[in-house]
A = this chain, B = another copy of it.
Amino acid sequence: MPSKYSFTNSNQTTQLIPTLIASIFLLSACSQLEDTARLENATTTAQTPQTDATIRSHEGIKNTQITQQIEQVKAASEQSELSYEIVRSLTVEVGPRIAGSKGDRAAVAWAENKFNEMGFDKVYKQPVRVRNWERGFADAKTLSPFEQPLVISALGGSIATPGDGIQAKVLMFEDLESLSKASPGSVEGNIVFLNTRMQRDRAGRFYGKVVPNRVNGAVEAAKLGAKAVIIRSVGTDNSRFAHTGIMRYNDEVAKIPAGAISTADADNLEAMFDKTNEDIILSINMQAKDAGWQTSHNVIGEFTGSEKPEEVVLISAHLDSWDEGTGALDDGAGVGIVMAAAKIIKDTLGQPKRTIRVILYAAEEIGLVGAYQYTRANKDDLKNIIMAAESDFGAGQIYQIDTRFNPDVRNHPTELYDALAGMGIILGNNTTNGGPDVSMLPAQGVPVIALKQDGTYYFDYHHTPNDTLDKVDIKDIQQNQSVWAMVTTYMANTDFDPRPAPVK
């Protein structure tokens, strides 16, 4: 049924122009997409999930064989710590791997080697051009009336301060909206502090509400003449880890340095405003730099389909991480989950009927760069993707499956939904984007799913130095591994075909 699908050409929005300015703009645009995708995911999960047991009970006779296969891979997964061991291997042997860095190159080599070790029958790389950004030194302190160091991290893509830093008065704003109401005269020459708090939430719904400070803060502050912007970290922890993440500039507005201070330091700075009516003078010194174009890679491993090799079940995660943690939760967990799920299926049931393609995308953090490259390079093949999905929300347990399936068949996979219901996983909406790196696919008719994870604690560690292996719970990641193996088994070993994904 390929003729039914509409595959738009995405070249226009993702074309790579090899200049610094263009690249930063591109990353910025992509980062918005990333954030939009996350926000949309968050928003849609806030809806009341559809409980369609009634619908499913009318589907008629179930496929006993697939039910058995699902149970077999579930049982095998529950005896396996493979996903955890993969995260352990990646975080210990590679660690930090920001796009285009030495660590990133080590990660690509690690991934290719790991796919081969695990017996994937087709292993290949797809080059992706990325801009490498290096964090460098960062330091902040209040100079008066109270003298204290603050923990700061440069936001990803930020320019550096002058070598001797920036010393200026700090102005505190609740959020971008209150900043927008300030008069330029009052902001001119000062440092803007955006102090929005993020709420803890299972679905991470407040990320989308707070992250505009990080993404757009520099542009909005610069419009009013600020010298620099600092934000309260986009995070739910009480700690002194600053949360980095991508920010963007706008070529029509002056570029100013942008950093995040830890929530504890934001509390402290806020409290200083309570304690004094004097100007609070802050010094910031950040020596980040753009380190030029580099080649990274999407790394892909496949178990080729035995009956319909051209039909593809695409499961994915991203291989890059930010540079301060070891990327255990973001996205080592996803890497471990999808690699392990495919391997467990192969070991338990043999070659799948359809091809299982595991993609470890390059450069997600700086703007879904590898995913856009994949989509562009494989545009003629997208029609063959039966379903795409990404695991990129840490290792918290899955509680819901959202889909973006042809509505006519959306309720057909009763054996799968029943098996998931047996694990307490409910069927959610049919409007998901599937996750950052597959979020551009539904618009091209590719069906996606999102296996929604408990993110209650995810934003305690997200984009901090504290994203390390000890935050991954073996039982939790094992549950993810089981669910991904079950879903992938169903998609790869039945004739179920949810194409095309509905356009919103």
Interface residues of A (CB under 8 A from B): 88-89, 91-96, 102-103, 106, 146-149, 151, 238-241, 263-264, 267-268, 271-272, 274-275, 325-326, 465-466, 468-471
Q: Nearest Cβ in chain B — how far from A250, in angstroms?
A: 33
In the complex, A239→B464 CA distance in Å? 11
Q: State how many angstroms separate the Cβ of A333 from the closest Cβ of chain B.
A: 15
Given that A106-B147, A151-B465, A240-B466 are contacting pairs, would A268 and B326 also be in contact in the complex, using a CB cutoff of 8 Å?
A: yes
Residue from the list B268, B465, B469 in contact with A468, Cβ < 8 A: B268
Q: Could you tell me if A239 and B466 are in contact, using CB atoms closer than 8 angstroms? A: yes
When the two chains form their complex, are residues B92 and A268 in contact, meaning their CB atoms are under 8 A apart? yes
| Minimal Cβ-Cβ distance residue in B for A92 | B271
Give every chain B residue within 8 A of A149 (Cβ-Cβ).
95-96
The count of identical subunits is 2
Contact B94 A146 (CB under 8 A): yes
Chain B residues closer than 8 Å to A102, beta-carbon distance:
147
A96 to B141, CA, bound (A): 12
Q: By the criterion CB–CB under 8 Å, are B146 and A268 in contact?
A: no
Q: Please, which residue of chain B has its CB at the minimum distance from the CB of A467?
A: B240
Q: How far apart sit A466 and B146, CA to CA, in the bound complex (Å)?
A: 19
Q: Closest chain B residue to A273 by CB distance?
A: B92
Q: Which residues of B contact A92 (CB under 8 A)?
A: 146, 268, 271-272, 274-275
Q: In angstroms, how far is the closest chain B Cβ from the Cβ of A181?
A: 27
Please determine whether A238 and B93 come into contact, CB atoms closer than 8 angstroms: no
- Across the interface, which residues of B come within 8 angstroms of A468, CB to CB? 238, 240, 264, 267-268
| A146 with B240: CB separation less than 8 A | no
Give the top 8 A-B pairs by smallest Cβ distance, nearest first.
A95-B148, A238-B470, A264-B468, A92-B271, A240-B465, A240-B466, A93-B146, A264-B470
- In contact, B106 and A267 (Cβ under 8 angstroms): no
Kindly list chain B residues whose C-beta atoms are within 8 Å of the C-beta of A325: 240
* B residues near A240, Cβ cutoff 8 Å: 241, 325, 465-466, 468
Residue of B at shortest CB range from A88? B271
| Cβ contacts under 8 Å, A267 to chain B | 468-470
Q: Which residue of B lies closest to A269 (CB)?
A: B92
Give Cα A149 to B102, complex, Å.
13
Bound: A116/B229 CA distance, A? 39
